[in-house]
Structure 1
Amino acid sequence: MPVDPAQARLRSAYIDFVRAGRGSALDRDGGAQHLTASCFVFTPDMSRVLLCFHKKGRFWVQLGGHIEASDLSVAAAALREAREEGGIAELSPLDGRLVAGTGDPLPVDVHRHALSSRFGRCTTHWDIGFAAVARADAMPVTSHESEDVAWWPTDALPQQVPQGFGDRLAVVLRELAHRLAAH
């Protein structure tokens, strides 16, 4: 169960959304609302986070995107998206616990957000966020999906981030600190 009470409540809403079976929650073609997977990539000392400048959104945000049929899990989709968008092949999932029987890390964040008309027929993403670590000297490479990819200090984010993103990142860091301290 997440440390943050708001995350715990939102987790319950996610479970209800998936159980309601409105289209396929995993399939972006299954409806205007669907699950997405993202990955907060950090340096080993957790002082920097890798962000991409999202073409459609016009803001800096963690790496992530849609879940594809070839993804074995939501966690696998998050890591795939992080590797594709960030251009860093060597990423290590970061979590003190794993989902029983899968070897997948547990999510560190859930975030439901409405989308602008720039996103086409998608109206809401129910994002499931994971965390990973890259080597301190890892050099990101911009992909065709982003205009830019760069490391940012976790306490000095760029101005062009979605509203509340700094608070969201702080919750992710607290969740990770709690989990890692427990192990």
Structure 2
Amino acid sequence: MCTGKCSLFIAISLYPLVLLSILCNILLFFPDWSTKYAKEGHITEEVKYMGGFIGGGVLALIPALYIHLTGEQGCCANRFGMFFSIIFAAVGAAGAVYSFVVALLGLSNGPLCRTSSNQWGQPFKDKSLEYLENSILWGQCEEPKNVIKFNMGLFITLMVASVLQALLCASQVINGLIGCICGTCNDKQEP
């Protein structure tokens, strides 16, 4: 497979991951499928860091668009374009790492919820991830309902998406390096 077609494949693979990351981050603002908690400010700091929107979203979308252009047979499908695709892919990988770290922090600190003492807090903060395996502990969070399952599903999805984004961006760095050294092999049809 030539470097141009490989770039096109990488870009097209990044688009759904970008959409998934943005969607997961937006959904994290609405635990129990309600706007009430966002309005009242009962959202964890990790959600407000917007790792899925900024890191897995914007910082991965811009490189995906450029890499897509590099894969086309347009003006970017040359050694210079492949060189810039390396830089853009590195930015995408950095965004994926940011998304992963924020999601990991969100998972390890646990959700912000109302406890049995009628106080809002993060009862699992500064504890190990054991609360994820022990569903009996989940009863400590009375409101929003099922917030632990909700956050766990979305943060784990963000982590998986960011790992895939980082792998795709790393493969574009290698692909761009090959394209930069060897040139792109876009076939030009002669009349």
Same fold at TM > 0.5: no
The structure with more radius of gyration: 2
**Structure of greater relative contact order (alpha carbons < 8 Å, 6+ residues apart):** 2
Structure number with higher strand proportion: 1
TM-score, scaled to structure 2: 0.25
Greater helix content: 2
